[in-house]
Amino acid sequence: MFQRLLFGLSHQKRIDGFARTWQTRAHRLLTANPGAKRAKDALNGTWLGHPLHPALTDVPIGAWTAALVVDLLDRRGTRAGRFASSVALGTGLAGAGLAALSGLADWSDVNRRQRPVGLVHALLNVAAVGAFGGSLWLRLRGSHSAGKALAVGGYTLASAGAFLGGHLVYTLGTQVDRNAWAREVDEFTPVMEQSDLPAGVLTRATLRGEPVLLYREGERIFALADTCAHAGCSLVSGRVEGGVLTCPCHGSAYRLDDGAVVHGPSPYPQPSFELRVRDGQIELRLASPGGRKRRAAFAEAAASPAAGYGSASSLEPVQP
């Protein structure tokens, strides 16, 4: 029953038509100039390496839960109880503003199935904010019983909104790292003949079943996972400029060097690979985020040339 309702919501054409108009407007607003783009990156959580929205929603949900618990325990309506529940309501309302902005930043890049669900999720939360705002206003005017009743309504709306938020992430995969289930290859594994890799062309290869991307620039070669961490697009048709690879779908930009995020909406770095060339074959193994393992490989190679590691970005064949 629930599943049918949720499926229907994802495919509701009328709601989606409305949602698409507002998504386009939100996206334009959030990418209007470099300052807006920087703000959008921050709201997406690129600086955190994790979506910011779920962390921010804890503030209003926690504060409104606290207000409801105080209302429930303080049946006599003491001064301290009234003060505590009002402070909790106000805290929740302040936190909801930032949570809404980060949700808007994420929603401006979601796909067609996620878009109408995201819109209803947002509208439920806006209604909840209205109810909690009304509840606080009534309490400040001395109508505590009415304020308490309205807060229960607000909590019901916020819970329904949170349910849809969970559905957006756990069922529809919004802002889930698309490389979360990728196989981790720890041993150097051949992926392609060195001579088959053209310069200046993004080239796809396969590393034990996982698509990887190779890019040769002069004497350097870079290797990243091909599946964009944001929403799973193939990066092979992306654009490379100044050592940065931009995804063709929503514009997430990753450093070719180590997969670090330069611009969102992806908050997740793109998996990168250590590289060596043996017997004319390009071999890869997974590097840890930020290239720490890559640097370790450099150090190992420098300490012991006989170990057989090449520079992680050199095309020179390594003598065995």
Q: Distance (Å, rounded) from C-alpha 92 to C-alpha 194?
A: 57
Task: Please give the size of the binding site for ligand FES, defined by CB under 6 A.
Answer: 12
Of residues 107, 104, 92, 153, the one with CA closest to residue 127: 153
Residue 251 CB, nearest distance to ligand FES (Å)?
6
Binding residue for ligand FES, selected from 39, 233, 236, 318, defined by CB under 6 A: 233
Binding residue for ligand FES, selected from 85, 174, 175, 252, defined by CB under 6 A: 252
What lies within 8 Å, CB to CB, of 12 at 6+ separation is 116
Task: Determine, following the binding rule CB under 6 A, whether residue 30 of this chain makes contact with ligand FES.
Answer: no
Stretch of residues binding ligand FES (CB under 6 A), selected from 89-97, 144-152, 250-258, 312-320:
250-258
Query: Quick check: bond before 269 cis, omega within 30?
Result: no
76 class by beta-carbon count within 10 Å (0-12 exposed, 13-18 middle, 19+ buried): exposed
Residue 106 CB, nearest distance to ligand FES (Å)?
11
Stretch of residues binding ligand FES (CB under 6 A), selected from 54-62, 225-233, 276-284, 290-298:
225-233
Contact mark string toward ligand FES, 256..295, x via CB under 6 A: ---------xx-----------------------------
Task: Determine, following the binding rule CB under 6 A, whether residue 158 of this chain makes contact with ligand FES.
Answer: no
Residue closer to ligand FES by CB (options 124, 182) is 182
Stretch of residues binding ligand FES (CB under 6 A), selected from 28-36, 125-133, 229-237, 279-287:
229-237
Binding residue for ligand FES, selected from 249, 277, 282, 297, defined by CB under 6 A: 249
Stretch of residues binding ligand FES (CB under 6 A), selected from 93-101, 126-134, 179-187, 248-256:
248-256
Residue closer to ligand FES by CB (options 251, 317) is 251
Binding residue for ligand FES, selected from 247, 256, 261, 301, defined by CB under 6 A: 247
Task: Determine, following the binding rule CB under 6 A, whether residue 230 of this chain makes contact with ligand FES.
Answer: yes
Q: Distance (Å, rounded) from C-alpha 136 to C-alpha 17?
A: 35
Phi, psi dihedrals of residue 158, rounded to the nearest 5°: -65, -35
- The residues that touch ligand FES, with contacts defined as CB under 6 A, are 228, 230-233, 247, 249-252, 265-266
